[in-house]
């Protein structure tokens, strides 16, 4: 199973913001779309990811004034990416190693989707359940 399988199922829509968008505007998008992260694009280049934990950290550090700061000051700049061909095990390893709950998916340097740890776990469980059924059928057969 690969990232392509996940994107084919969930879709490829990604909520993005520009680096100069305020934290307040970005937080409103997170809430409106019921998502945990937005990808920060400068033109079409991925320059960061702003996740829920970045919002909480900004408020803890700057208080209410954080809401007026641009996401470029608060986002995670070290963006870990994957591709459609990334396997589910490699995806989970990357997320675990970098403590990343969301990975943008790129093709030829362009953003084409995003996967979350929830997407990865859901599909990993589905894969294990399929293998279990095959083993049961083999034993019973």
- Any idea what the CATH number is for the domain that residue 64 is in? 3.10.580.10
**Into how many domains does the chain fold?**
1
For residue 24, what pLDDT band results from cuts at 50, 70 and 90?
A: very high
Q: How far is residue 134 CA from its own chain's centroid?
A: 31
Cα gap 135→14, rounded to integer Å: 37
**By residue range, what is the domain housing residue 95?**
3-140
CA distances from residue 78 to 40, 50, 139 in whole angstroms, order as listed: 12, 11, 47
For residue 79, what pLDDT band results from cuts at 50, 70 and 90?
A: very high
Put simply, whether the predicted model's pTM sits higher than 0.75 gets the answer yes
Both tokens of 10, joined, read 């969930």
């Amino acid at each position: 199973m690969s990232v392509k399988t996940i994107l084919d199922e969930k879709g490829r829509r990604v909520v993005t913001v520009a680096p100069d968008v305020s934290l307040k505007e970005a937080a409103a998008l997170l809430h409106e779309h019921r998502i945990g992260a937005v990808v920060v694009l400068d033109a079409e280049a991925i320059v960061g990811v702003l996740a829920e934990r970045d919002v909480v950290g900004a408020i803890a550090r700057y208080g209410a004034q954080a809401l007026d700061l641009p996401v470029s000051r608060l986002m995670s700049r070290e963006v870990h990416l994957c591709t459609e061909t990334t396997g589910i095990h490699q995806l989970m390893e990357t997320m675990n190693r970098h403590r990343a709950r969301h990975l943008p998916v790129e093709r030829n340097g362009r953003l084409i989707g995003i996967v979350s740890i929830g997407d990865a776990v859901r599909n990993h469980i589905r894969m294990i359940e399929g293998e279990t059924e095959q083993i049961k059928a083999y034993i019973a057969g």
